[in-house]
Amino acid sequence: LSCTNPCGVLDFLFLAVLRDQRYKLLHYSKDELSIQLSNLTQQDEGIYRCLYYTRHVRTKSQNVEILAAPSHPVLEISQDEERGIKLSCHSQGGRPQPQISWLLDNGIELPGDTRHQLGADGKKWSSRSTLRILSYSPQVTASCIIQHPALGPHSLLASFPFQDLPSSGTAALLS
């Protein structure tokens, strides 16, 4: 039995000792081999192959993608008398791109204008969603919601109560 990771350094040969202590053999039987890898990095991403030696060599491949949770959202608020209020929600470090939406107190969820930019590492994303509000009630709160596979069923949330809006056309930053 032999397995290789994307770098070709993982080697189970008759259950030999592993070179990388992050790998742990969880289960081994005639039909199944399970390993666990801890302290994952981006370099651990790729195709893992296992070869089972009998009369014929059987191969099983599994592509592993490393997820990175996005940062907690930061809200920026700017006010312009002619164009209303602009809410901007920014998050970075997500892989893949997060989904960003806006939720108002009345239960209405809005998509906003969302843009994603790939970071210098070529793997993680910086994401920004903008929502323009033309009129509002001071009792209303707008929330930026970030959903991402690395967060599971949970979401990241940043909220802005309109009662906190300054009376002049200034900008505010909330996280």
All domains of the chain in start order, with CATH = 2-64 (2.60.40.10), 74-174 (2.60.40.10)
Task: Average the pLDDT over 17-36 and give the result.
Answer: 75
Output the pLDDT for position 17. 40
> What is the distance, to the nearest Å, from the Cα of residue 38 to the centroid of all Cα atoms in its chain?
19
Residue-wise pLDDT tens digits, 138-164: 888 999 999 999 999 999 999 999 887
Span 59-117, pLDDT tens digits: 888 888 899 999 999 999 998 877 789 999 999 999 999 999 999 987 889 999 999 99
> CA angle, corner 64, sides to 60 and 65, nearest 5?
155
pLDDT average, residue stretch 9-35: 65
For residue 96, cis peptide bond before it (omega within 30 degrees of 0): yes
CB 72 within 8 A of CB 93: no
What mean pLDDT is reported for the chain?
Answer: 83
**Cα separation, 170 vs 89, whole angstroms:** 17
pLDDT at 5 over 50: yes
pLDDT(167) > 70: no
Supply the pLDDT for residue 1: 44
Q: Is the pLDDT of residue 40 over 70?
A: yes
Its pTM surpasses 0.75: no
DSSP 66-120: --BPPPPPEEEEEEETTTEEEEEEEEEEEBSPPEEEEEETTS-EE--EEEEEE-T
- Those residues whose C-beta lies under 8 Å from the C-beta of residue 65, and which sit 6 or more positions away, are 45
CA distances from 152 to 3, 55, 141, 145, 147 (A): 29, 43, 25, 14, 8
CA gap 129, 127 in Å, rounded: 7
Range with lowest mean pLDDT among 2-16, 29-43, 108-122, 130-144: 2-16
Please give the pLDDT value at position 172: 52
Q: What is the pLDDT of residue 98?
A: 98
pLDDT band at 170 (very low <50, low <70, confident <90, very high): very low
